[in-house]
Amino acid sequence: MSRSRLYQWCTWFGEGRTSLGDEPKSGRPKTSTNEENTTRVDELIRCDRRMKIREITLKLEIPKSTVHEIVHDTLRCQQDNGDEDTTHIGVGPGGDFQANNNLFDNLITGDETWVHLNTPETKRDSMTWKHPSSPVTKKFKVQRSAAKVMATVFWDAKDVILLDILPQGQCINAARYCSTVDRLKEAIRRKDLGS
């Protein structure tokens, strides 16, 4: 025990204090973190384990900080994605590219990509709330479907100008490229007339 703590206790006991415990804190009492709200949040989480804190806040009309405190501190819930690996790698925003808008206003670019007809949900979407006493969740591996189509997309600085889907069984050849370019010219003409 430090000397300053000993002197502090001597002062307190000299003033008539008899308890060694902390006295109740003064200040504003907690109004939102009560048994009723804790029960309501717990029921919502048990009903839909994928519900986000923002959704709970909107549904119950209580502050986000209160919902966060109830979920993490009172109920001691954690987000679980069903994986055994608990390490998460977050991708940051990188950096914002500030450019001269006049330069890019007239620039149109395009790309081709394969699009799977069935794309599984992301790890973030499949997160569920888990109480400390809940059993370990099992997540089945969902793979992308083998069926896919070729999408050709053209866009400018503001929006998508043309989205062309190649039907299954067809190939991209010179005739297909020419028809896509013709449709792109028509889409640009319509965009210029509309703006």
Per-residue pLDDT reduced to its tens digit, 42-100? 999 888 888 889 999 999 999 898 999 999 888 888 887 665 544 443 444 444 444 44
Distance CA 81, CA 120 (A): 14
Q: Which domain range does residue 42 map to?
A: 33-83
Same domain (yes/no): 113, 155: yes
Same domain (yes/no): 37, 110: no
Same domain (yes/no): 120, 70: no
Cα–chain-centroid distance for residue 46? 20
Distance CA 152, CA 166 (A): 8
Whether the Cβ atoms of residue 105 and residue 156 lie closer than 8 Å to each other: yes
Whether the Cβ atoms of residue 138 and residue 82 lie closer than 8 Å to each other: yes
pLDDT, position 170 = 83
Does residue 134 belong to any structural domain of this protein?
A: no
Same domain (yes/no): 59, 116: no
DSSP-based three-state secondary structure for 110? strand
Same domain (yes/no): 109, 188: yes
Distance CA 142, CA 158 (A): 35
Does residue 168 belong to any structural domain of this protein?
A: yes
Distance CA 87, CA 22 (A): 39
What's the total number of domains in the chain?
A: 2
Same domain (yes/no): 79, 109: no
Pair of tokens at residue 65: 């900080």
Same domain (yes/no): 109, 182: yes
Task: With 0.95 as the threshold, say if the pTM is over it.
Answer: no
Instruction: Give the pLDDT band (50/70/90) at residue 28.
Output: low
Q: Domain with 54 in it: what CATH number?
A: 1.10.10
Same domain (yes/no): 112, 178: yes
Same domain (yes/no): 117, 187: yes
